[in-house]
Structure 1
Amino acid sequence: MMITDTSGQDVRLTPRKSRKPLYVLAAVLLLTTTGILLMPTLSNWSSAQASVPLQRLRLAQVTQGDFVRDLSVQAQVVAAVSPRLYSPAQGTISFAVDAGAQVQQHQVLASIDSPELTNELKQEESSLQKQKMELDRKRIQAKIQHLENQKSVDMAKVALTAADREKRRADKAYQSSTISQIDFEKAQDDLQNARLVYQHAIQDAELDEESLAFDIQSQQLQVNRQTLLVAELQRKVDELTLRSPVNGIVGNLAVQDKNQVTRHQAILSVVDLSQFELEVAIPESYADDLAIGMDAQVSFNGETHPATLVTLSPEIENNQVTGRVRFATTAPSGLRQNQRLTTRILMENKPNVLMVQRGQFLESGNGRIAYVVKDGMARRQRIETGARSLSNVEILAGLSPGDTIIVSGTDQFDGAQWVQITQ
């Protein structure tokens, strides 16, 4: 009996090739590629002495262009013309206007009743009138004396003429031996005496004229002096009526109506609202860099208006220097006194300068250290800075255009040479 086996049911299978070497090869290639790609990162990581997230940093790129050194300050609008009126003498004040009233130039604002000054003016006017009368009296006396002197000269001339005639008669009589020698000599003496009297009369008249002219001139000078004194007192009396020197608005009244005021006491001020300037308070650290005549820019209602720095205080108060900025053209409309505006003073303009955005890194490294960012790493680099503006700082050495540096504070790096920047 033959037993049947299972060979008829068997199926011959083709043996499969093993893929394990392929997997191993792929893994090796993957690890090699990853190692090559991660090699710089691993190298940076190994050389980095600190690691900082990018979100905690502020970066800026080094650029080249025109560098404008400026200073931004808050300015207060003040009236360019705001005269203050003072009392010219002691008296009682009476106001003709109220505070805040709009006035015109030469309009009466107040008056001061000063009996003492008014009485002094009347006394000096009386003295002036008296001196004028004295001058007129001297002029009349000069005329009288002039007539007396002329009379004396004329009488001396008549006597001289008579003596000359007697001399001629004596000459003829002496030639005919009618008179004696003594009478002839007497006629000669009388003629000589008449001549002397005439000459002295003329000289006396001239001296009297000079003396009278001197007296009149002296009296005239006294009158002139008194006239000036009266004019000065009249000016002071006229100043008792206070008038507005400009068109504007009356400021606060320094005294009450009908009160007593002393000489040189402040009374009121008038504000001319048609002319405005800006008063700026500048930190003393910029005092040496500023100069009168520098350009400025004033921001008002979204517009920039050109201006000029016109005054600069020579002294420092409260760590600040006070200056005045005046609009280059007509002041913009809508300004109000004591209004605050942002003013930019342009201190310097340098063309084609290497610069970077200003930041805390200047204080962290005293302007000599910067961290240059490249490929996720920040490298410590020595630099040299120059002028600083409100937004930028000049780079003199150590950086090139296009470099990216950390402009935020670098104290957190503790002086590390390399810093890794993580995402």
Structure 2
Amino acid sequence: MIRDTSATDRLVEVGSNRKRKLIIYIGAGVAVVAALAFVLPHVATMFSADSSVSASRLSFATVSRGPFVRDIAAEGKVVAAVSPTLYATSAGAVVLTVHPGDVVKKDQVLATITSPDLAAKLAQERSAADAAKVEFLRAQIDATKKRSELQKAYDNAVIDQTAGQRDLKRYEGAFAKGAVPVADVDKAKSTLDKADVTVKHAQSDLTTDNGSLTFDIQAKKLAYDRQVLLVQDLERQVEELNVKSPVDGQVGQAFIAERATVAKDAQLLSVIDLSALQVEMKVPESFARDLAIGMPGEISGNGKVWNGKVSAISPEVVNGEVAARLRFDGATPSQLRQSQRLSVRVLLDKRDNVLTVQRGSFVDESAGRYAYVVADGMADRRDIRVGASSIDKVEILSGLKEGDKIVISGADTFGDAKHVAISR
């Protein structure tokens, strides 16, 4: 028997189907309205922006308040604070008595220079000094003899003067008694006058010649003293042919070969004073202006940390960097070696409750005059003023507040735009 389709037939209620469709249409309408309400502000924002940049090309940071530490961290190299280089004081052949790495004491002979020319010159000047001494002594003897002769002439003149005075007195007495004529009295007066003149000239010669003899002796003595000084200087030069260490330390480097012949002022050796080590570091030019001698620092290495202070700052900039040195507070660690690498940190400034943001390229791109503040998918340009900066942070003086989110790098793609949309 053939079955019909009555078993599969189903009664459809026309009113119920229409109601369900109405509900679906209403729900779809509400969803569309909600989507438009969400999208339209963003669309309006997109149209109001000067340009649009993907967030993946930007870096962001949030302004915060807290402690602000400005420091410089770099790798340092151990150097000797005292590392003199010794030079040849004269030309000649050099014989080294030490080798690089040898421990030496102050005034220990490190090298000897053989200089025949200097030795010969010293011998000649010593001979000249002996001759000058002989001349000086001869001048003294001659002066003594001359003074004796002048004194003798003066004494004889005085004796003749005294004898004349006695003769005149005797003749005057005899003339008064009529025993001698007046001619004898006049002759006695003439003899006395002659004796007076002789005494006067003898006394003048004694005074004048004595001064001349004194000057002659002084000239001979000055010539002798000059020659002695010249000999002493040459003896000093000969003594300096024995090159001595100026400090206790260690021989660093030999600049010549053994028994080499060198010119005057040629480099010979360097000596390192290991008791006065310092750490040298390279500081970027932008931070170097804030460095000052005496600033505290921290030196670390070999699993240890030492305190230090900035002791020297180079006055010149080389390849955008400035060299600075730190000395250890207290005794120099004994385990350190020349040219050893250590970590160095110099504290420039430390303050609390400072408004800061992570350092980025925006500081250099805008010279710290503006930044882009991000809110609701938009980056708005805002004028700011920055203060001090450290390696990872920059101080905000005005224009931003705590919690603001800004673009710290990638803003160079914004150009001169004041409103930039940030797309995902």
- In structure 2, the partner of 1:180 is 181
Q: Which amino acid aligns with 1:153?
A: Y
- In structure 2, the partner of 1:312 is 314
- In structure 1, the partner of 2:13 is none
Cα distance change, pair 334–29 in 1 and its aligned pair in 2 (3 A)? farther
Once the two structures are TM-superposed, the CA of residue 285 in structure 1 deviates from its matched residue by 4.8
Once the two structures are TM-superposed, the CA of residue 161 in structure 1 deviates from its matched residue by 1.3
Contact 1:361 1:408 in 2 (8 A): yes
The whole-number CA distance in structure 2 between the counterparts of 1:104 and 1:197 is 75
Name structure 2 gaps, 5 residues minimum: 1-15
Counterparts of 1:330-409 in structure 2, within 5 Å, are 330-346=331-347, 353-363=354-364, 365=366, 367-374=368-375, 377-386=377-386, 387-409=388-410
- In structure 1, the partner of 2:239 is 238
**Secondary structure in 2 aligned to 1:252?**
strand
- In structure 2, the partner of 1:125 is 126
Contact 1:99 1:253 in 2 (8 A): yes
The whole-number CA distance in structure 2 between the counterparts of 1:51 and 1:188 is 137
Aligned length: 401
The whole-number CA distance in structure 2 between the counterparts of 1:279 and 1:333 is 17
Once the two structures are TM-superposed, the CA of residue 47 in structure 1 deviates from its matched residue by 2.2
- In structure 2, the partner of 1:95 is 96
The whole-number CA distance in structure 2 between the counterparts of 1:107 and 1:143 is 51
The whole-number CA distance in structure 1 between the counterparts of 2:62 and 2:91 is 71
The whole-number CA distance in structure 2 between the counterparts of 1:156 and 1:413 is 120
The whole-number CA distance in structure 2 between the counterparts of 1:152 and 1:290 is 88
Instruction: Let me know the Cα RMSD of the aligned residues.
Output: 3.5
Which of residues 27, 40, 43 is equivalent to 2:41? 43
The whole-number CA distance in structure 1 between the counterparts of 2:83 and 2:296 is 23
- In structure 2, the partner of 1:110 is 111
The whole-number CA distance in structure 1 between the counterparts of 2:367 and 2:147 is 98
Contact 2:84 2:272 in 1 (8 A): yes
Q: Which amino acid aligns with 1:116?
A: D
Aligned sequence identity (%): 35
Is 1:196 the equivalent of 2:197? yes
The whole-number CA distance in structure 2 between the counterparts of 1:25 and 1:166 is 178
Q: Which amino acid aligns with 2:295?
A: D
- In structure 2, the partner of 1:256 is 257
Contact 2:255 2:268 in 1 (8 A): yes
Deviations along 1:368-422, whole A, 9 cap, x unmatched?
A: 4434345x63532313232332111122322112323343433566757354576
Cα distance change, pair 364–168 in 1 and its aligned pair in 2 (3 A)? closer
**Secondary structure in 2 aligned to 1:407?**
strand
- In structure 1, the partner of 2:280 is 279
Once the two structures are TM-superposed, the CA of residue 344 in structure 1 deviates from its matched residue by 4.0
Cα distance change, pair 334–406 in 1 and its aligned pair in 2 (3 A)? farther
Deviates more, 1:326-335 or 1:267-276: 326-335
Q: Which amino acid aligns with 2:146?
A: Q
Once the two structures are TM-superposed, the CA of residue 220 in structure 1 deviates from its matched residue by 0.8
The whole-number CA distance in structure 2 between the counterparts of 1:69 and 1:233 is 58
Cα distance change, pair 169–364 in 1 and its aligned pair in 2 (3 A)? closer
User: TM-score normalised to the size of structure 2?
Assistant: 0.81
**Secondary structure in 1 aligned to 2:379?**
strand
Contact 1:251 1:268 in 2 (8 A): yes
Deviations along 1:261-302, whole A, 9 cap, x unmatched?
A: 111111111111111233343444556x25652625243126
The whole-number CA distance in structure 1 between the counterparts of 2:414 and 2:423 is 11
Deviates more, 1:387-396 or 1:359-368: 359-368
Counterparts of 1:159-178 in structure 2, within 5 Å, are 159-178=160-179
Cα distance change, pair 44–136 in 1 and its aligned pair in 2 (3 A)? same
Cα distance change, pair 144–366 in 1 and its aligned pair in 2 (3 A)? closer
User: TM-score normalised to the size of structure 1?
Assistant: 0.82
- In structure 2, the partner of 1:293 is 293
- In structure 1, the partner of 2:152 is 151
Q: Which amino acid aligns with 1:106?
A: D
Contact 2:293 2:309 in 1 (8 A): no
Contact 2:297 2:326 in 1 (8 A): no
Contact 2:252 2:270 in 1 (8 A): yes
Deviates more, 1:138-147 or 1:38-47: 38-47
Contact 1:296 1:307 in 2 (8 A): yes
Once the two structures are TM-superposed, the CA of residue 152 in structure 1 deviates from its matched residue by 1.3
Contact 1:298 1:343 in 2 (8 A): yes
The whole-number CA distance in structure 2 between the counterparts of 1:390 and 1:282 is 12
Cα distance change, pair 23–56 in 1 and its aligned pair in 2 (3 A)? farther
Contact 2:255 2:267 in 1 (8 A): yes
